[in-house]
Chains A and B, each alone.
Chain A
Amino acid sequence: MSVKTLEIDGKMLTGVAGETIFSVAWNKGIRIPRLCHIGGISDVGACRLCLVEIEGQKKLQASCLTPVEEGMVVHTDTPKLRAHRRLIVELLFAERNHICSVCVMNGDCELQELATELGIDHVRVRYQFPSLPVDLTHERFGLDHNRCILCTRCIRVCDEVEGAHTWDMLGRGTNSRVISDLGEPWGASDSCTSCGKCVQVCPTGALFAKGKAVGEMRKDRTFLKYIVTAREKKQWIE
């Protein structure tokens, strides 16, 4: 395996060929913001929060999808990037109905955390206030489309780790919506195994366990690394 040396935020780091900038940075404690990436499943580059500047390249690159190259000079936190990230998060807030004060994930939500980190105290774009349903047909879980940011983590974990592929994305653009099977209510899904992986990986309160009150839902994502390591290396380690 060939080793690549590169510079990220002034630090000389190394990664193996094929490894992403994102992964090299995070391993060394450089926490590039992200919403669609989650370790253990494939990356799709949907949220664009992990954009970085690479010297000599005009376009910003999604670090979760860009493999490291020898001699790269990468900046992960510049005023330009912060401005873009801020706008992306504002757009996410404006696109659906994210009301933290009544959300089960208040206090543990990745979207909320990111907004706080970026110092977002107001949204400059017009709220869309779409009228969206809440699917409470599943025995144990619920899906509130108002809080979904279309990161597709649920779809990928269901397909790649559980193997059920219950979820997918309907439509496109602002009309996109997470669906189960042929668009039927979650509770009527034949393929869902009720494993709850999608609920645990969902960054917001869109997927939640029933019976939780405001701010009570906490998600545990450690299982993903555990299962993936076990499957790939036949090692059951924490």
Chain B
Amino acid sequence: MEEWRFAIQIAAFSGRGDPTPIAETEKPLPAAVKDNRDKLLERAMSRHQYSGDALIEVLHTAQELYGFLSPERLKTIARKLRLPPSRVLGVASFYHFFSLEPKGEHTMVVCLGTACYVAGALGLVEVLQRRCGAGSKVSVQTARCIGSCGLAPAVIADGKILARVTKASLGAELDRIG
């Protein structure tokens, strides 16, 4: 899986911390569920007649089904939609919605939009970076304005918005989810 590491190193070349090592396979799941996911992805592609124009929709489905886009998955999608692999990775890496790495059990998205930034969101990112390093259960992400400026600084914890977050309240939330 050397190739994949290379891609990840590239993806992580952002100065935003070290590249996270990539799990070689996805989290083990009951066989039935797993088969089902492959089928669902296949169905999404056939619904679009395997058209290359449906790349974003298909990536969307794959992201939702598997939680992240592995190199094998991207390769399969490229082949089935008859697209060059580089374009598929290019698109997948362009949108923040797609992740190329498996996510932790929990996700924390810190809003870095102007309002949250001014209200000290960077301090929150620091706390998360310090506490949620390699091997942590929590994946840390940032976003550009989640549209809740009145709640600045805002953090989305596992899909739930936390308002007017302070370093202390964020610390308490991290303690809570362990």
Tell me the A residues contacting B by CB distance below 8 Å.
130-133, 159, 164-172, 174-175, 177, 179-185, 188, 191
Contacts and interface: CB of A to CB of B under 8 A. Distances in A.
A52 B87 CA distance: 31
A168 B13 contact: no
A165 B87 contact: yes
Question: In terms of DSSP, what is the predominant structure of the interface of chain B?
Answer: helix
A168 B71 contact: no
B13 A182 contact: no
Interface of B: 2-4, 6-11, 13-15, 71, 74-75, 78, 84-90, 93-94
A183 B86 CA distance: 7
B84 A169 contact: no
A170 B89 contact: yes
Contacts of B15: 130
Contacts of A171: 10-11, 14, 93-94
B84 A170 contact: no
A182 B89 contact: yes
Given A165-B86, A170-B11, 7 more contacts: A159-B84, A165-B84, A168-B84, A172-B93, A180-B86, A183-B3, A183-B11
B10 A182 contact: no
B85 A182 contact: yes
Contacts of A179: 7, 10, 86, 89-90
A181 B86 CA distance: 4
Contacts of A180: 86
27 contacts: A130-B15, A133-B9, A167-B86, A168-B90, A169-B94, A170-B10, A171-B10, A171-B94, A172-B94, A174-B14, A175-B14, A179-B10, A181-B85, A181-B86, A182-B3, A182-B71, A182-B86, A183-B6, A183-B8, A183-B10, A184-B2, A185-B3, A185-B6, A188-B3, A191-B84, A191-B85, A191-B86
Nearest to A183: B7
